[in-house]
Amino acid sequence: MSDDSSFQDLIRRVRSGDDDAAAELVRRYEPAIRRVVRLRLTDARLRRVFDSMDVCQSVLGSFFVRAAMGQYDLDNSDQLLKGPPQGDRSDAAGARRAARPGAP
């Protein structure tokens, strides 16, 4: 099975609610997602409040909910690691709001 078809099968299983597939996706991609987060988390205020694991858990949680709803059309793992389209950065915006002094 090619890497792309293996990835597509994994995503199909995740969408169908397969817990083993979700665990496999986390095992395979969490280290790479955390690396990307560390590279992109450049705001010193955010780094004091959140680490790469916090952001990774939020990203994966959002991903699993939205994947189950069929919102992601992923053909290969590069698309998973690239992140959401530029206009869809709701997790990052929420993190910035939460890091503000006096935020609820």
4-23 pLDDT tens trace? 788 899 999 999 999 999 99
| Boundaries of domain holding 93 | 3-99
Count of Cβ atoms closer than 10 Å to residue 14 Cβ: 22
Q: Give residue 86's identity as a one-letter amino acid code.
A: Q
Q: Report the CATH number that the domain containing residue 66 is assigned in CATH.
A: 1.10.1740
From residue 71, give the alpha-carbon distance in Å to each of 11, 60, 66.
12, 14, 5
Are 27 and 16 in contact by the 8 Å Cβ rule? The answer is no
Confidence of residue 60 (pLDDT cuts 50, 70, 90): very high
* pLDDT value of position 81: 74
Which positions ≥6 away from 70 have C-beta within 8 Å?
A: 15
Give pTM, 2 decimals: 0.69
Query: Within 13 Å of residue 86, how many CA atoms lie on the same side as its CB?
Result: 0
Number of independent structural domains in the chain: 1
Percentage above 70 pLDDT, the chain = 77
pLDDT in tens, 22-52: 999 999 999 999 998 899 889 989 888 988 8
* pLDDT value of position 71: 85
Residue 18 lies in a domain: yes
Q: Does position 100 have pLDDT exceeding 60, yes or no?
A: no
Residue 104 lies in a domain: no
CA angle (15, 17, 21) in 5-degree steps: 80
Residue 41 lies in a domain: yes
